[in-house]
Structure 1
Amino acid sequence: MDEMTQLRELRADAPVPDRATLAPGRKRLTDAIEGRSRRTLRLRADWRIASLGAVVAITAAALFVTQIVDTSDPRQPGPATVAGDLDLSSPAAALGEAADFLERQEVPPEPRSDQWIYLREENPDQEKQWKEVPAEIREEMSMSYSPDSWIPYDDKAAENDETDTDYRTARESYRIAAGLPEDPEALLAELRKVFPTGNGPDGPREDKDAHSFRALTVLLESYPLPPDALARIYRAMATVKGIGVTDHLIRDASGRQVIAVTRAYDANNRTEILIDPVDYGYAGRRDVVTRSHELTGPEGTEPIRYKRGDILMDIARTRAAVVDAKGQKP
């Protein structure tokens, strides 16, 4: 049996997933296939498939949507923070408090060109989705799920690859961040140039605020970023129209309590950028359904139903470090 026949027969009754549900499966599989981890956040309609393995994993991904279980209690104190009590009354207050703390931190030296970036990102749903892919296909692809990844700090081949306008290497991202201006409006304008909006075949053009938010979140995923640059990024983020913050800490995919900075990306869903309440580093991302709705697939298939509170993506970054070799852990 050829691969495409096997693919068509696999889960033939599965509903057609939407863009947000496709994203996590596509990202992990295409990263592994290309041989490097591209930590890119996209809010575009263009999610092209790179391989048979990506198609299979994405099909499985559509079958798993997890209900939010937020066990944090806003009446109880959260984790102690080095900056004092958290102020979650507004995005300006929360992000300003984070920026104040980061501006007081010493800027460490830039990583050497021969060093690697180690990341551990917990994604329980994606692990479950991967296990749903038939074993024979996983074996044929010689791939497996792992929350750990290593990215070369200096990746000249990736720097010269112009096919992905959102992707920047760790070194490029560090230097972009370090060179950002203090003024929030000027900073956002600069990032919109660095991470251009979709146009034609690359996806629909975003409005100014949606574009600014995506550019910020793409850069925030990078590691490391100088603390003073991260402070400027947070202050600029607080000025983007539509930004919100939950009034209490929420639980991420690993069970930690984190700050959630939010912004709707359509009428039914929102993105949550997660921030560690202790050191104010990037801690992950969630995409959450804000209004119950359903999506209609091809004729003869059942519509996909989403409930308010369903999580479409839930990634927790639990470790990040500069190391001297691929495979090394701090």
Structure 2
Amino acid sequence: MDEMTRLRELRADAPVPGRADLAPGRRRLTDAIAGRGASRTSAVRAGLGRRLRDWRIASLGAVVAVTAAALVITQVVDTSPPEETAPATVVGDLDLSGPAAVLNRAADHLERQKVPPEPRPDQWIYTRVVDGASENAEAVKELQEAGVDVPPGFSPDRWVPYEDTFAENDTSDTDYRSARESYRIATGLPEAPGALLAELRRIFPTGSGPDGPPEAEDEHSFRVLSVLLESYPIPPDALARIYRAMATVKGVEVTDHLIRDASGREVIAITRDRDEGDTRHEILIDPVGYGYAGERSVVTRTHTVRGDSGAPDVVQKRGDVLMDLARTHAAVVDAKGRKP
């Protein structure tokens, strides 16, 4: 069972943070500025809303940097499989021996599912996301008392229009796509894993300059897969192709037991260590229906992050969770504010 701990993190002078680590706060602030809704994401693009997240934080200034990169509320990961999370108790003969076993099994299941119709242009995408960090009000209060400018909290419930012409005409963020754009990107992806990954890397290019250093091909592939997976809805046949392609990315692994996400659910963790740095990115998948369930960023090596401007140094311990997002609900609804 995971044990929650609280840790304050101020890392303004640290090396360029991983893109996934910076994404949630950036999306949160951008939504508020643009008036796209009051809830958080990676409440993601449509499902954790659409990921206006490019992991790029510089253009949003110091407040976002403090929110997304500087504040890290950690959770210690139990690296041994607890008895109550044994896969057999959740989904029968679930095979967690390797990423190909899990992801190809998931794809087989999804290919047997009926493909629902595409949402109408006037419909909305509702999502609810549990943020393991922002839920920690005590830690936020501590930061405020220390003089850190922390933006107000956001509701976990979020609604975005399926057809969002404002977002579709905004080319300032190469990772941001409306729900409709993401749906059509997913349905148009080729069958062959190599071609699928190449197409996603083209659609969601890697960073350069102030947007962060360019990524190597496999790290780029894993990131763009996570960008698209946060979208909702993705038809089951398209999701199957995405999972088969993910299984071919070098460095991708699967945790050999189910883990607990920010909401307490047991989920599959598909992981990849970042090429540079001391963290791994985890994509979380529901072990029964194989839908996207969230994501995490976990410290892989104990190290010290040097403080800046008088801020204390902070030790990040192996197993600390720097980002912990769980999407607990996602649905197409007929009006903003409506829940399924």
TM-score by length of 2: 0.83
| Secondary structure of the structure 2 residue equivalent to 1:322 | strand
- 1:104 matched to 2:112? The reply is yes
CA offsets 1:117-168 (integer angstroms, 9 cap, x no match):
0000011321325853759x9xx97x54211100110001100000000011
Provide the secondary structure at the position in 2 that maps to 1:305: strand
Query: How far has the Cα of 1:241 moved from its partner?
Result: 0.4
Is 1:306–2:301 an aligned residue pair? no
1:136-175 matches, cutoff 5 A: 144-175=153-184
Aligned to 1:48: 58
Deviation of the 1:28 alpha carbon: 1.9
- Tell me, in whole angstroms, the C-alpha distance in 2 between the residues paired with 1:51 and 1:170: 27
Instruction: Give the aligned partner of residue 3 of structure 2.
Output: none
Aligned residue-pair number: 312
The structure with more radius of gyration = 1
Aligned to 1:15: 10
1:204 is paired with a residue whose SS is coil
Amino acid at match of 2:86: Q
SS of 1:309's equivalent?
Answer: coil
Q: 1:104 to 1:59 in 2, by over 3 A?
A: closer
Task: Give, in angstroms, the shift of residue 69 of structure 1.
Answer: 4.8
CA gap of 1:255–1:95, structure 2 versus 1, over 3 A, is same
2:58 aligned counterpart, secondary structure: coil
Structure 2 counterpart of 1:217, which letter? S
Conserved 8 A contact 2:278-2:300: yes
Secondary structure of 2:133's partner? helix
1:73 Cα deviation after fit: 2.1
Share of identical aligned residues, percent?
A: 59
Question: CA offsets per residue over residues 39-91 of structure 1, 9 Å max, x none?
Answer: 328575x41253676466458724x323225785267345543xx52111010
Deviation at 1:302, TM superposition (A): 2.6
Match of 1:321 among 320, 331, 334: 331
SS in 1 for 2:57: coil
Root-mean-square deviation over aligned CA pairs: 2.9
CA distance in 2, matches of 1:319, 1:114: 20
1:8 — aligned with what?
none
CA distance in 2, matches of 1:168, 1:227: 19
Using the alignment, how far apart are the partners of 1:103 and 1:278 within structure 2? 14
Q: Distance in 2 between matches of 1:55 and 1:77?
A: 38
Aligned match of 1:68: 77
Is 2:214 the counterpart of 1:205?
yes
Q: Deviations over 1:176-224 (max 9, x none)?
A: 1001111000000110111011123332111111111111110000000
Q: CA deviation at 1:308?
A: 0.4
Structure 2 unaligned residues grouped into runs of 5+: 1-7
Picking from 220, 229, 234, the partner of 1:225 is 234
The 3 A distance-change label for structure 1 pair 235 and 253 is same
Is it true that 1:94 corresponds to 2:105 in the alignment? no
Aligned CA distance change for structure 1 residues 287 and 41 (closer, same or farther; 3 Å): farther
CA drift at 1:170? 0.5
Question: CA 1:317–1:151 in 2, change beyond 3 Å: closer, same or farther?
Answer: same
Q: How far apart in 2 are the matches of 1:88 and 1:41?
A: 32
Aligned pairs for 1:116-265 within 5 A: 116-128=124-136, 131-132=140-141, 144-265=153-274
List alignment gaps of at least 5 residues for structure 1.
1-12
- Which residue number corresponds to residue 4 of structure 2? none
> Which is worse superposed, 234-243 or 29-38?
29-38
Change (3 A) 1:161 1:329: same
Q: For the residues of structure 1 that align with 2:10 and 2:31, how far apart are their CA atoms?
A: 25
Measured at CA, do residues 124 and 208 of structure 1 come closer, stay the same or move farther in structure 2, by a change above 3 Å? closer
Letter in 1 for 2:10: P
Matched residue of 1:113: which SS? coil
State the shift of 1:305 in Å: 1.1
Give 1:268 deviation, angstroms: 1.1
- Does the residue aligned with 1:318 lie in a helix, a strand or coil? strand
Aligned to 1:10: none
Residue-by-residue CA offset, 1:265-289 (whole Å, 9 max, x unaligned): 1341101100001110000001000
Q: Secondary structure at the match of 1:168?
A: coil
Alpha-carbon distance change, 88 to 170 in structure 1, aligned in 2, over 3 angstroms: same
